[in-house]
């Protein structure tokens, strides 16, 4: 385990979440490329039909000595985004530009991260087990995105009325 101070370079939002059963949290199939077919939302183990999304995000970070790719799971990613993966999924559905804004919003933010070697030897990346924003005015991504998207929406409404 190591703790690093780093700046965030990029977040890969092409594949940022996976789907689990909301009751037993077992991973459900069919979570490729953000396409979730309703037929596979039945949990084979506990028969629940209530899936939920959890974060699993690849991000590259720069420490004072190196640049590396790390993987960030639900608890740490929720600090970064300020909302659940389900909420972010719905937000980006309503605001298609939001996903492309995430990197602008988070670019260069400084964090103190605790990194752990993966338990699975085949896993390539260190996992982020905790993430603490270092900038005093840090706002989670969803706060800034909501602000930007609301501003854009009200601007276009104003233009229409002119």
Q: Is 27 an interacting residue with respect to Zn ion (CB under 5 A)?
A: no
Q: Is 48 an interacting residue with respect to Zn ion (CB under 5 A)?
A: yes
- Residues forming beta bridges with residue 51, ordered by sequence position: 21
Q: How far is the CB of 85 from Zn ion (least distance, A)?
A: 17
Give the one residue of 27, 46, 67, 97 binding Zn ion; rule: CB under 5 A: 46
Strand spans (E) along the chain? 2-11, 17-21, 51-62, 67-73, 110-116, 126-133
Token output for 33 = 């490329």
| Total residues interacting with Zn ion, rule: CB under 5 A | 7
Rounded to 10 deg, the angle between the 74-81 and 141-161 helix axes is 40
Candidates 22-30, 58-66, 85-93, 141-149: pick the segment binding Zn ion (CB under 5 A).
22-30
Mapped onto helix, strand or coil, the DSSP state of residue 67 is: strand
Give phi and psi for 102, each to the nearest 5: -55, -45
Query: 15 or 45: whose CB is closer to Zn ion?
Result: 45
Q: How far is the CB of 47 from Zn ion (least distance, A)?
A: 7
Q: Is 21 an interacting residue with respect to Zn ion (CB under 5 A)?
A: yes
Query: 28 or 105: whose CB is closer to Zn ion?
Result: 28
Stretch 127-156 residues interacting with Zn ion (CB under 5 A): none
Give every CB contact of residue 78 below 8 A, 6+ residues apart in sequence.
55, 84
Give phi and psi for 15, each to the nearest 5: -150, 85
Give the one residue of 6, 8, 28, 43 binding Zn ion; rule: CB under 5 A: 43
Residues that bind Zn ion (CB under 5 A): 21, 23-24, 43, 45-46, 48
């Amino acid at each position: 385990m190591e703790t690093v101070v780093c700046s965030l370079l990029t977040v890969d939002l092409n594949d940022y979440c996976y789907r689990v059963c909301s009751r037993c949290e077992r991973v459900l199939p069919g979570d490729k490329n953000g396409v979730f077919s309703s037929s596979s939302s039945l949990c084979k183990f506990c028969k629940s039909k209530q899936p939920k999304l959890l974060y699993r995000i690849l991000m590259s970070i720069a420490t004072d000595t190196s640049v590396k790719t790390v993987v960030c799971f639900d608890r740490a990613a929720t600090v970064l985004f300020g909302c659940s993966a389900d909420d972010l999924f719905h937000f980006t559905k309503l605001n298609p530009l939001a996903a492309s804004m995430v990197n602008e919003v988070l670019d260069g933010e400084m964090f103190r991260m605790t990194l752990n070697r993966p338990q699975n030897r085949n896993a390539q990346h260190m996992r982020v087990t905790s993430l603490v924003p270092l900038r005093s005015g840090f706002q989670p991504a969803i706060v800034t995105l909501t602000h930007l998207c609301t501003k854009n929406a009200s601007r276009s409404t104003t233009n229409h009325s002119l």
